[in-house]
Amino acid sequence: MPDLRFTEQALSEWMRSGGSHSEIVISTRVRIARNIQHHPFPLLATKNQADEILDVLAPVVDQNQETGYGTFHLLKLDELEELDKKVLVEKHLISPNLVNDSRSGAVLLNEDESVSIMINEEDHLRIQCLFPGFQVQEAWERATAIDDIFEETVDYAFDDRRGYLTSCPTNVGTGLRASVMMHLPALVMTQQISRILSAVNQVGLTARGIYGEGSEAAGNVFQISNQITLGQTEAEIIDNLHGVAVQIIEHESNARQRLLDDSALRITDRIMRSYGILSYAAVMELKEASQRLSDIRLGVDLGILKAPSISVLNELNVKTQPGFLQKMFGEKLSSAECDMYRAKLLRDTLGTTH
C-alpha cells in the first residue's frame, strides 16, 4: 500500500521555513541526472529491464536506511491513482515525464519532501533537492552528497571525454540542472522582463515556467536554470546561476521601489482589487487565480497587505491546481466545477464565506 501522506498535504514541510531573498526567490532546486553502466537507458528499456533498475536503486536509500536527510519512502507509480500522480507533479515532487513516459517509474521521498529521487524517468536516476528561498550552494551540496551515496553502490555510465552520459544530449557532462524559482511581478509590470530574460539567455541560462520546459510562466513566476551541462564544471554552473540570480534580484527590487515611488496609489489599487476579487468571486479560472495571487504576494512583500502569510500563499498555489482541488473535495471535477471550487477555496481562505 503506497504512503499517500505526500498527496494529502498541499504544502511540503521544507516550504514552511524561510530562506534568503524569499520575497523574490520562492525556491531553489538542484537536480542531478545519472544512468547505470551497461543497462539500456529508460527510453529504450523493456519493462523487465526497468524493473531491474528499480530493484537495484530503490534499496540504496530505502525506508530502513538513514542517510542524514531523514527516512525515505518509496512510491511506485503503477501503485498510485492518476489523481495522486497529478498532485505529486503539482507539488514539483515528480516530473510529468515520470508519469507519462516511464516504465516502472518510482520516486523516493524523504519526510519533509526536500529530497525527491526519481527512478526510471528519462534517466535511471534523477536526484532532486529543494530549498526555500535563495540557497543554490546549499542545494548543490545536498544533491552531490546523495549522489555520492549512490555512486558507492552502483557504477554510473561515464565517458572520460564527455562526462556523465544521459538520455538527452543537453544533460551530458555534469548531468546538473540548477534553478531558482523567482517571483518577478515588478519586472513584468514595468515591461523590463523581456530584456532581462534575453540577457539571461546570452549567459548560458534559460527561463521556463513553473513546471519546467514547455510550461507557462504563470503568476509572474519564472524558473531560471542553466542550459549548459557540458564544458563547465559543477562549481562554474552553480556560480554562474548564483551570480545571474543576484542581478535579477537587484533588478526586481529596484523595479518594486520604482513602482512605490512613481505609482504607489495605482499599485495599491491593483493589489486591493485582486484581494477583493479573490475574496468574493464565485468562479475563478486557474490563470486568473495565479495572477491575482501574484498581486497579493507582491502586496505582502511591499507591506501594503499584512495578511495572508507567504506560507498561506505558497499553499494556495498548490491547492488551487486542478489535481489537488479534486483530491481535496473528494470527487472528479469538470473544468467548470474546478473553477467553482477554486473560488470557494479562495473565499474561505481569505476570510470571506458566502
Nearest alpha-carbon partner for 13 in 116, 148, 140, 118: 116
- By residue count, the chain amounts to 354
| Cβ atoms of 107 and 119 closer than 8 Å | yes
Is 290 labeled as ligand-binding?
A: no
**Average confidence (pLDDT) over 260-273:** 96
| Cβ atoms of 288 and 278 closer than 8 Å | no
Task: Please write the tens of the pLDDT for every residue from 29-49.
Answer: 999 999 999 999 998 899 999
Task: Please write the tens of the pLDDT for every residue from 215-239.
Answer: 456 789 999 999 888 888 999 999 9
pLDDT confidence of residue 353: 39
pLDDT score of 3 more than 80: no
| Nearby residues of 51 by Cβ (< 8 Å), 6 or more positions away | 104
pLDDT score of 4 more than 50: yes
* pLDDT, mean over the chain: 90
Is 20 labeled as ligand-binding?
A: no
Three-state DSSP class for residue 217: coil
Percent of the chain with pLDDT over 90: 75
Report the predicted TM-score, pTM, of the whole model to 2 decimal places. 0.90
**Average confidence (pLDDT) over 322-347:** 91
Query: Which domains does the chain possess?
Result: 5-252 (3.30.590.10), 263-349 (no CATH)
pLDDT band at 103 (very low <50, low <70, confident <90, very high): confident
Is 177 labeled as ligand-binding?
A: yes
Is 28 labeled as ligand-binding?
A: yes
Is 208 labeled as ligand-binding?
A: yes
pLDDT score of 65 more than 60: no
Nearest alpha-carbon partner for 14 in 180, 107, 130, 127: 130
Is 294 labeled as ligand-binding?
A: no
Is 30 labeled as ligand-binding?
A: yes
Task: Please write the tens of the pLDDT for every residue from 123-136.
Answer: 999 999 999 999 99
| Nearby residues of 146 by Cβ (< 8 Å), 6 or more positions away | 61, 67, 69, 115, 117, 127, 129
pLDDT confidence of residue 343: 96
Written as one letter, the residue type at 288 is E
| Cβ atoms of 172 and 192 closer than 8 Å | no
The CA–CA distances, whole Å, from 119 to 97, 114, 252 equal 11, 16, 37
- Exposure string of 320-334, with b = 16+ CB inside 10 Å and e = fewer, is bbbbbbbbeeeeebe
Is 180 labeled as ligand-binding?
A: yes
pLDDT band at 336 (very low <50, low <70, confident <90, very high): very high
| Cβ atoms of 150 and 37 closer than 8 Å | no
Is 336 labeled as ligand-binding?
A: no
